Structure 1
Amino acid sequence: MTRARRLRRVLGAHGCTLLALVVFAAMTGVPARAPLALPGAGGLPLAWLFNLLAWIGPGLVVAGVALRLRAGLGAGPGRIAGIALNLLLLAALAFAAQGLLPLDVQELDAGASRWHALAWMVWNLAFAAGALLAGLALPSVRVPSLGLCAVVTLGLLSPGVFGGGIGERVVLACWWLWTLALAWRLPRQR
């Protein structure tokens, strides 16, 4: 798979997430600082469509690109690079799982919402660890990977740094940038 093709797939996936977030927030009247996943909460109109467009579909597309990147890595970059791309795959699957495990609008801090929070946390941790290892093992993405890892880690360790509702938006933007950097900067599949 060529770099341009990988980049188009990842851009399309992220564009789908962004469009779903904007359109469904406007349709449902969700406040600007509300959790990003709120339009997909159980019981809300068209929640299944939001979850499909915002989380499930894009997560699976990025997972497919991660598999291709891992397969095309070869033996040169080493084991750490392979682990980094496996963490990219895990993060992409956890991203998709957020749509399969929607929030419960009646209990945002309990019940089914805890499963969504778990998927969100796995996505964050796999993303941060993958970015760190990619930064250490893959010179072509060293600067963006380590920089984005630092931002995500800061947000995880000090949630108040970005303020209420901003932190998850910063992490999502970092996710988009990192996956785009990997899709574009890693060599073509052998």
Structure 2
Amino acid sequence: MHISPRIDRGIGALAALVFVVAVVGFGAALPGYRALSHPVALLGATGVPHAQAFSWLGLVLPGVLACAVALRLLVRVPRTAPWTLRVGVQLLVLAGAVFAAMGLLPLDASDIESPASQFHASAWMVWVLAFVPGTLLYGLGALRVPGWRPQALLHLGCAVGMVLAAFVLQAWMPAPLAQRLAFAVWAVWLVAALPLAHRLR
């Protein structure tokens, strides 16, 4: 299916914009919500006002668009590219799908230890564990393709950034802030991946 290059390049930026606007807008509308004290997922938690709207706009829609970004990257992978490149981008498709799933598996605001909350936490972890090896493998594969160095550096940088935000920095800063840094890394990938891919050929 033919997609206009302009639209193709803008899919990721739209995903990042929708996510950021949803987080900022719904966060501002929720009394007592503080970015440094509360996780993003609280905006979509069961029992929170407008939770379902946030889940669809802030998690499901950006996740679906992230899948589209990864799929558009997949169709641009050369047939002679290393297997790591193809496996990496397939993991990025999975990461987008799991991000959307976080919106379908909301936290329980009244019981953080409930099965519903645990399902959401598991989806978050699967998202991270798909994104990190996905970007790492894609980046390592791109290093071996002539002219793909910018793509390689973007993906390797995002892999390192996500590891730091999701696993390291939480020991040094509030967990909600570290989580937002992880989302920021993901947003950088969303915005830059397809525009860089369009410069390759």
Fold conserved (TM > 0.5)?
A: yes
Query: Could you say what the CA RMSD is over the residues aligned between the two structures, in angstroms?
Result: 1.9
What is the CA–CA distance in structure 1 between the aligned matches of 2:174 and 2:95, rounded to whole Å? 24
**Structure 1 CA distance, aligned partners of 2:153 and 2:22?**
30
Residue 41 of structure 1 contacts residue 105 of structure 1 at CA under 8 Å; is this kept in 2? Answer: yes
The Cα offsets for residues 6-47 of structure 1, whole Å up to 9 and x where unpaired, read as: 221111111111111011111112122201110110122221
CA distance in 1, matches of 2:71, 2:60: 16
8 Å Cα contact 2:41-2:106 kept in structure 1: yes
Greater alpha carbon shift after TM alignment, 1-10 vs 143-152:
1-10
Q: CA 1:3/1:134 → structure 2, altered by over 3 Å: closer, same or farther?
A: farther
1:68-114: CA deviation from partner (whole Å, max 9, x where unpaired): 22123230322111111101101000110110000100112332011
Task: Tell me the SS of whatever aligns to 1:92.
Answer: helix
Return the alpha-carbon distance in structure 1 between the equivalents of residues 167 and 35 of structure 2. Answer: 23
State the AA in 2 paired with 1:179: L
Equivalent residue in structure 2 for 1:161, among 143, 157, 172: 172
Deviates more, 1:85-94 or 1:135-144: 135-144
Contact (CA 8 Å) 1:59, 1:93: kept in 2 or not?
Answer: yes
Which residue in 2 is equivalent to 1:186? 197
TM-score normalised per structure 2: 0.87
Q: Distance in 1 between matches of 2:76 and 2:199?
A: 7
In the TM superposition, residue 161 of structure 1 has moved relative to its aligned partner by 3.4
Residues 142 and 2 of structure 1: CA distance in aligned 2, closer, same or farther (over 3 Å): farther
SS at match of 1:126: helix
Which runs of no fewer than 5 residues in structure 2 stay unpaired?
143-148
Aligned to 1:28: 30
Among residues 140, 147, 152, which one is paired with 1:142 in the alignment? 152
Question: After the TM superposition, which residues 8-19 of structure 1 pair with which residues of structure 2 at under 5 Å, given as runs?
Answer: 8-19=10-21
Q: 2:86 aligned with 1:69, yes or no?
A: no
